[in-house]
Amino acid sequence: MHIEPGVVTGAKIVLSYATALGALGWSAKYSINAIKEHGAINLLARSVMTSLLVFVFFEVLPHHAVGVSEVHLILGSTLFLIFGPAAASIGLFMGLLIQGILFAPFDLPQYGMNITTLLVPLFVMAAVARRVIPEKTAYVDLAYAQALKLSVTYQGGIVLWVAFWAFYGQGFSAANLSSVASFGLAYMSVVLVEPLLDLAILWGAKGMDRLKGSSFVERRLYQG
C-alpha cells in the first residue's frame, strides 16, 4: 500500500504530516494504556516483535505494484489480535520506517501518508472489534465471519486512504480513476485471504498453552 512517489507533491504533502501526527497521537494513547497495564518493558518487547514482523511482511512476502500503489499482505488484523493495538501500531510505523531507511529511501517522503494509511484503519478496526466480538469471547475462538469483518474494516480502510491520497494529489482524471479502481480491486482480494490466515494463526495459538497468561500477547487472545 505504499503511496508511489509523485502522487502527492509540493505544498499538498503538508496534509500528510498533520494526519500522521494525529495517527501517532492515537498510537501514543494506546501505548500509555498498555504501559499502565503491563509496563514499558513489556510494550517494548511486543513492539520489537511486531516491528520485525511488519518488516518481513513488507520486504519478504510477495507484493506487486498495481495502479497507484502496491498490494501487500500486511496482516494488520493478525497483529492486532495477537499483540494488541499499541504494539501493532508501533510495529506498523517502525517496520515501515526500517524498511524505508534500509531498502526504499525513495518512499520516505511519503512516510506520513503511508503511516496514516496503515494506522487509522487499525484504530477503526479496534473500535469495530469491540462491537462485533462479544466481551467474553477470547480471540482464539473467533469465527470466520468475525475475522472477516475485521479484515474488511482494515483492508477497506487502507483502500479508502490510498484513494484519498491519489485523488487529493492527482485529481479525478479518467486515468487516475482507472488506476485507483485497479488497485482497489486487487487489494480487496486480500480480504478473502487474511481472515483465513488469522484463523489459522489463532488456531495455532490456541494449542500453545505456554502463551496462556503471558503478558507478551494480548490478554483477549485467551481470555474473554
Give the residue among 153, 158, 149, 163 at the shortest CA–CA distance from 119: 158
Q: Would 110 be classed as within a structural domain?
A: yes
**Assigned domain for 139 exists:** yes
CA of residue 55 relative to chain centroid, distance = 12
d(CA 45, CA 20): 24
Give how many domains the chain has, as a whole number: 1
> What count of other Cβ atoms lies within 10 Å of the Cβ of residue 210?
6
For residue 211, being part of any structural domain is answered with yes
Domain that holds residue 128: 10-221
Q: Is the dihedral of CA 185, 130, 144, 206 positive or negative?
A: positive
In a domain, 4, yes or no: no
Strand blocks (E) in the chain: 64-66, 69-71
Backbone dihedral angles phi then psi of residue 66, each to the nearest 5 degrees: -140, 120
Q: What is the pLDDT of residue 20?
A: 97
Output the pLDDT for position 224: 62
Domain CATH for 155: 1.10.1760.20
C-alpha–C-alpha distance, residues 7 and 97, integer Å: 19
Is residue 80 in a domain?
Answer: yes
- What are the average pLDDT values for consecutive 10-residue runs of the chain, which has 224 residues? 84 96 97 94 95 91 78 87 96 94 89 96 96 91 88 90 95 93 83 81 81 82 80
Q: Which three cell numbers stand for residue 111?
A: 512516510
- What pLDDT, on a 0 to 100 scale, did the predictor assign at position 107? 85
Has residue 1 been placed in a domain?
Answer: no
131 backbone dihedrals φ, ψ, rounded to 5°: -95, -35
**66 belongs to a structural domain:** yes
Which cell is 193 given?
A: 485471504
**Grid cell listed for 112:** 506520513
Inter-residue contact 86 to 33 (CB < 8 Å):
yes
pLDDT score for 117: 95
3, part of any domain: no
